[in-house]
Amino acid sequence: MIEIIPAIDIIDGKCVRLSQGDYARRSVYHDDPLDVAKSFAEAGIRRLHVVDLDGAKAQHIVNHKTLERIASHSGLSVDFGGGLKTDDDLRIAFECGADMVTGGSIAVKNPELFTSWLEKYGAGKIILGADVVDERIAVSGWTETTSLGLFPFIATYKEKGISSVICTDISRDGMLQGPAIDLYKKILSEQAELYLIASGGVASIQDILELEAASVPAVIVGKAFYEGRIKLSELKIFV
């Protein structure tokens, strides 16, 4: 059964969604992310993906107080990303209740530090973020596309012990045009044991069912919830 992981993206302490990572194309959906998190928990969801978009822009953790409220009062297991660049950022995230953290840009720009986190905390606590444009890795809040290929990037960290990867097709994120199923199939054909978390483009329950049919272990769903394309009551078949 595919795992459903709702996303809460935070700017100024509010629940927002961007289109293709563009901060100028944001929609504010709720003033209190904790209320949103509680609604997910009431629907039987067990895990939440929280992104500190202010932190991603500032290059250090910013919305840790919001993380702490969600982790302390929602009952959900939280994986947290956005602006985690130093050991201190990681310490703050875990102290504020994150069960797992996701590192993307840091894994590209400072692989020694990211690898040290993996060695210190273990694969159960550290998730690799692989944000892609045309199968190349993008960093710095998706403002910079590198020459690094997706598949060698994942393979390198798989050899170092990574077991979970969030792969986001940036061209689809927030666009409600369907997920990159062929890309995820290709990843799993090379890394069959990977706990691959699909992200970007999900617009309907049918999209989730197609990901499940492709043996994708988990999916992050954001805008489709907030725009009413997927109702929480429809997720009962997955929880």
Comparing C-alpha atoms, which of 88, 153, 99 is closest to residue 122? 99
Answer yes or no: is pLDDT of 144 > 90: no
pLDDT score of 23:
77
Instruction: Tell me the pTM.
Output: 0.94
* CATH class entry, domain 3-238: alpha beta
Which single residue is written with the structure tokens 């077991």? 163
Answer yes or no: is pLDDT of 142 > 70: no
Distance CA 234, CA 75 (A): 21
What positions carry a catalytic annotation?
9, 131
Question: How many other CB atoms are there within 10 angstroms of residue 193's CB atom?
Answer: 8
> Would you give the end-to-end CA distance of the chain in angstroms?
8
The CA–CA distances, whole Å, from 175 to 3, 22, 221, 222 equal 21, 12, 12, 11
pLDDT score of 185:
98
Distance CA 32, CA 24 (A): 21
Distance CA 139, CA 129 (A): 10
Answer yes or no: is pLDDT of 30 > 80: yes
